[in-house]
Each structure stands twice: as structure tokens, then as C-alpha cells.
Amino acid sequence: MRRLLLPRLSGRGPRGGVALTFDDGPHPEATPAVLDVLDRLGWTATFFVLGAQVRRHPGVAAEVVAAGHELALHGDEHRYLIGRGPRAAGDDLHRAYDTVAGLTGQPPLWWRPPYGVLSGPALAAARGLGVRPLLWSAWGRDWRAAATGESVVDDLYRGEVDGGMLLLHDSDITSAPGAWRSAVAALPLLAERLGAAGVEVRTVGEHVRG
């Protein structure tokens, strides 16, 4: 999915780097597997977590932080915001915010709505909390049962990679069971392509300017 008309929303940053992001975690199997590969590659990434998942798996979320990665908001529950009233949308984002801030001791700065669908009430809540909405410039379609490491990398490169924001998943709570394994398998392959092009991997905080 391309978001060329909205570079700020799609997380465009300086060329020569990409922001690597993961949605829908933490997950007791997927997240540690992702962390292991990131450690081997020497990469740091940003995890857009669900507040409800953090409360279910606080130890896994703490591992993400201890490994030097960045936590951001994906909401509290993975539900479409369209059709939810101002109070419901605001409550969802506030619960996620309080959960992540309570875990890290720092206020989260970034928010990606479930399914990438924004709403007026949720945007108003985000402004009130001081979190910036971000979507992505390339996604790996790693939620599909048929996804493989190779297909995930190919799909990422159908979007904007250099200078962009890459979307993968460290959970299968909204994906085909076990689909997260395709994202894990894709990371070393992605490292080869990025390395050959001289593109470094960044967190959102390192990548986004202004």
C-alpha cells in the first residue's frame, strides 16, 4: 500500500534508512522469536503494541523494552475505530497509553490505529495525549497463511522502502495462525537487500523528523 500523498502520515524519513515496525503484540511465541533475530542482526525496531496484549503478557513487553526497542501504541483492542463514538475511541486509546506508560515509565509518542483506519474522535484523543498518528509506506502482507519469508520481502519492496516505514507483525491475533513465522523468516532476507543498498534500520524515533 502506497501513501505517497501523505509523507508525514506514512512515516517518511531521510533516505538511507528505514523504520522497522511490528504490530499486534506482544505475543508469547512470536515476539521473543522476532527479538532473537533482531538481536542477531543488531537492529532496533518499534513495536506498536496493543494495551490488552501488554496486560496479558507484561513480561514479554518488558523484554522488548529491555532489548532496547521502542514501544508505541496500536490501541487497546484491535477493533475498527470507525463507528465508535468519541468516548469509546478515547477510552481505548487512553487505556493503551496508560498501560504502555506504566510499563516503561515514559509516555509513548507514536500511535498506529488498527487496520490503519483513522477516525475524528480517535484523532482528537491522540492530540490530547500528545501522540502522533503514523501509518506505513510498505507492508509485508505477513498475516496471510500463504506468506513466506520471500513473499514478505517481495511485498515490502512493492511499497516505498528506502526512507520509508515498514510494517510487519509479531503476533497472529488478527492473522492466520502462525503467520508471524513468515515475518521472522523475512528478516534475514530483508537484511541482505537493505545491506546491499546501504540502507540502515532505525526505530521510528530515530527515523521520523519534525
Catalytic residues: 23, 169
Q: Annotate 100-137 with b (16+ C-beta within 10 A) or e (fewer).
A: beebbeeebbbbbbbebebbebbbebbeebebbbbbbb
C-alpha cell at 127: 492530540
CA separation (Å) from 90 to 73, 115, 183? 13, 17, 31
Cα 1 vs. chain centroid, distance in angstroms?
15
